[in-house]
Structure 1
Amino acid sequence: EKCRSFQSLIPAEERGVLWLCIGAEVLNILLTLTSAIVLGSRVSYHSSGFHWLKVDASVAILMVLAGTVPLQSGFLLPIFPQHKMGVPAVLMLPLVLLGISGLLFIYQEVSNLWSKSAVQNKVVVITDAISGLGKECARVFHTSGARLVLCGKSWERLQRLHDALISVADPSKQTFTPKLVLLDLSDISCVQDVAKEVLDCYGCVDILINNASMKVKGPAHKISLELDKKIMDANYFGPITLTKALLPNMISRRTGQIVLVNNIQGKLGIPFRTAYAAAKHAALGFFDCLRAEVEEYDVIVSTVSPSFIRSYRVHPGQGNWEDSIWKFFFRRLTYGVHPVDVAEEVMRTVRRKKQEVFLANPIPKAAVYLRTFFPEVFFAVVACGVKEKLNVPEEG
């Protein structure tokens, strides 16, 4: 009876248009989901509350363009007489959305071509190129025609990377043979000499990607000061020493870009990673200050802070105190960022000259905001994940 009374409020000539519009809403959502999958868009329909407003607004706009206007009662009435435009308006909606998806696809392809031309013939220095992320960055920039200078601690692994890049190079595209330089950023005494060697390769540096990183886990009172210093050398003093050595070349040429690949732990502290988090906080602070100092010389400073970079290691086993943190908060394998995604984001950062990028999924992002606006809650949540350690035997 309620349905009949509700339907009686709708004029008979408007009911067909109403049901067609409801169908258009459903079709709009399905097509948007399909286009998001096809275009590789990372759209989350569970976490993006604004998307539904966008869908409703897009339907209203498209209906107006096609010849209908929304009434105050919430129903649709054709602008033109005899409702001749109501059905065509709804039928045009999928075609319009398909056209928009095609335009977005073309835009994405053009952006990819633009990103490759943005670094073509540029001298790009990548530290710790033998790591997972370093290899992906080397691949992305090499295929884009950059003149690479690859730095790493192992000559054999550098040589293997060199051979791999050469073997997969497209003969139809212009690529350059990468230069190899031995560099251990934890050995500060050799960084200055290595910087001179890097400059000798091509005479200048256009883009410096500070990617090197060293990690350590353990209770703060059991980490020696020597290890703390080594972590600071590799993650802080090493990158800033190399940056300071190469920066005058960029300033004199009034061009260049410095990219720091940092970590979420430069934004917030994670238990049992005191030395690593301290170094990441210090590095982020240094490059944030440097950004303002070198802006007048047209030198861009960018920071890319992913959450955990996904690895292929097995997560901690049952009963391990770290397993509770892993499952409870960050879930490295589930919410970690793949090295390929980080490398592509570094490329976009260079192309668009972004200053700061925070590359993470919803949970790490929520943790950063929680730490900023509700610190007491954040501290309590993190502490809950650590309490299990008190009842678990210590590891080596």
Structure 2
Amino acid sequence: MARIDGKTIWITGASSGIGEALTYLLDEKKCKIIISARRLNELQRVKNNCINKENISILEMDIAMIDMAKSKTSEAINTFGNIDILINNAGISQRSLIIDTDISVDKKLMDVNYLGTVALTKAILPFFVENGSGHFVTVTSLMGKFGSPYRSGYCGAKHALHGFFDVLRMEHEKDSIVVTLICPGFINTDVAKNALTGDGSVQEKNDTATANGISPKSFSIKMVKAIEKNKHEAYIGQKEKMGVYLKRFFPKLLHRVVLKSTVK
């Protein structure tokens, strides 16, 4: 097992939720951390809450602006002179039926959740190859393994991430590059509040399942353990994790279970 302590790590989506909790945990482990998101004031708040502020660098960035991926990657590398781990955490969710969802919403979900992550990954990949090491950690979702109503575009983007990073792992294992896919279930964050509805507006309200999810801190502890073990995939949540295995072995049963669920 490779300890994460003291590593240089770049985290996207670090201004709240999982990214914020992960920053605090890695700060305790004396990592050098580059934190990125769109909201500069929130990134500053996160940094101010850290113990080793000298090890925290802020890099404001909109993951959907894929033309900026290369320049932002150069900035990130130059910050501490190295990056050991890229944690692709930035993303946005959805709560709308397919028939009610404008195609512009599907595009935004792909731009943020898939293409933005792929662009950043491709930008830093040559650096990892040249160094002969590097670890891509991508936060997908259990929705990247099976589907659920009201999340069609979100599921599509998360499924796409699995396809891309599975191939990246195969192509660059020879370069000692590691890929870990982290699949959260329900985590008590603002993901539901920030989810897009059919017309592209923000839902602005939580749901019961998300509110009753595990805490970002508990999630981050499990996530770091998976990273240190170089796991290919890790499913982190509560009973909803069983959906992965039902999909694999009993797909029709999963279909019935999801349709009977009150989760929206």
Q: Shorter-normalised TM-score: what interval?
A: 0.7 to 0.9
Corresponding residue for 1:164? 49
Aligned residues of 2:35 and 2:59 also touching (Cα < 8 A): yes
1:354 aligns with 2:235: no
Q: Number of residue pairs matched?
A: 251
The one of 70, 76, 80 aligned to 1:198: 76
Q: Please say which structure displays the higher CA radius of gyration.
A: 1
Corresponding residue for 2:14? 129
Aligned residues of 1:145 and 1:176 also touching (Cα < 8 A): no
RMSD: 2.4
| TM-score of the aligned structures, taking structure 1 as reference length | 0.59
Shift in Å, 1:222? 1.6
C-alpha distance in 2 between matches for 1:238 and 1:377? 34
| TM-score of the aligned structures, taking structure 2 as reference length | 0.87
C-alpha distance in 1 between matches for 2:242 and 2:8? 37
C-alpha distance in 1 between matches for 2:48 and 2:10? 18
Shift in Å, 1:312? 7.2
C-alpha distance in 1 between matches for 2:15 and 2:115? 20
Aligned residues of 1:220 and 1:274 also touching (Cα < 8 A): yes
C-alpha distance in 2 between matches for 1:314 and 1:130? 16
Corresponding residue for 1:138? 23
* Residues 313 and 348 of structure 1: CA distance in aligned 2, closer, same or farther (over 3 Å): closer
- For residues 132-281 of structure 1, what are the structure 2 equivalents within 5 Å? 132-165=17-50, 168-169=51-52, 176-281=54-159
The one of 243, 254, 259 aligned to 1:378: 254
C-alpha distance in 2 between matches for 1:131 and 1:220? 28
How many percent of aligned residue pairs carry the same amino acid? 29
* Residues 351 and 372 of structure 1: CA distance in aligned 2, closer, same or farther (over 3 Å): closer
C-alpha distance in 2 between matches for 1:179 and 1:313? 24
Shift in Å, 1:314? 10
* Residues 293 and 337 of structure 1: CA distance in aligned 2, closer, same or farther (over 3 Å): farther
Shift in Å, 1:137? 0.8
* Residues 314 and 184 of structure 1: CA distance in aligned 2, closer, same or farther (over 3 Å): closer
C-alpha distance in 2 between matches for 1:242 and 1:188? 7
User: Aligned partner of 2:87: which letter?
Assistant: I
Corresponding residue for 1:290? 168
Aligned residues of 1:204 and 1:249 also touching (Cα < 8 A): no
* Residues 208 and 340 of structure 1: CA distance in aligned 2, closer, same or farther (over 3 Å): same
Aligned residues of 2:21 and 2:220 also touching (Cα < 8 A): yes
Instruction: Looking at secondary structure, tell me which structure has more helix per residue.
Output: 1
User: Aligned partner of 1:142: which letter?
Assistant: D
* Structure 2 residue matching 1:290: 3-state secondary structure: helix
C-alpha distance in 2 between matches for 1:306 and 1:314? 13
* Residues 314 and 374 of structure 1: CA distance in aligned 2, closer, same or farther (over 3 Å): closer
User: Aligned partner of 2:237: which letter?
Assistant: A
Residue deviations 1:347-386 (CA, integer Å, cap 9, x gap): 212322222211132x313222222222222222323347
Gaps spanning 5+ residues in structure 1: where? 1-110, 170-174, 316-325, 390-396
